């Protein structure tokens, strides 16, 4: 019984690691096209560039919708529209989770 439980536990840990790794891979793919998000949007989610919006304090759903709109060319702002081309339906959420988490960690230091 115990060994069944530990097999299950190890399986969950491996699954969690694989999922985290996937998120990083999505984020890296998007960044390859556009450059690292914090370079424009700010290290702490707070942009220091006048034409670039801060991402930090905005509702995640709003940001997510913006990325879909970039992808569908409903919102055309370079470089975001170009970078969002060809993203799958899951990638924008993965990218945002990854970067908002990074920003949250950065600003809590």
Contact set with ligand HEC (CB under 6 A): 30-31, 34-35, 37, 39-41, 51-53, 55, 58, 63, 66-67, 77, 79-80, 95-96, 99
DSSP calls for 28-56: HHHHHHH--HHHHH-TTS---STTS---T
Compute the least distance from the CB of residue 31 to ligand HEC, in Å.
5
CA separation, residue 57 to residues 43, 53, 62, 102 (Å): 13, 10, 11, 14
Compute the least distance from the CB of residue 59 to ligand HEC, in Å.
10
Which residue, 15 or 20, has its beta carbon nearer to ligand HEC?
Answer: 20
């Amino acid at each position: 019984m115990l060994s069944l439980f530990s097999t299950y536990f190890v399986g969950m840990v491996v699954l969690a690691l694989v999922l985290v790794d996937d998120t990083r891979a999505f984020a890296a793919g998007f960044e390859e096209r556009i450059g690292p998000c914090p370079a424009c949007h700010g290290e702490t989610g707070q942009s220091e560039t006048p034409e670039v919006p801060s991402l930090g304090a905005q509702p995640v759903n709003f940001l997510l919708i913006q990325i879909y709109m970039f992808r569908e060319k409903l919102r055309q702002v370079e470089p975001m529209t170009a970078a969002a081309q060809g993203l799958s339906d899951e990638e924008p959420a993965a990218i945002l989770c990854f970067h908002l988490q990074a920003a949250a960690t950065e600003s809590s230091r």
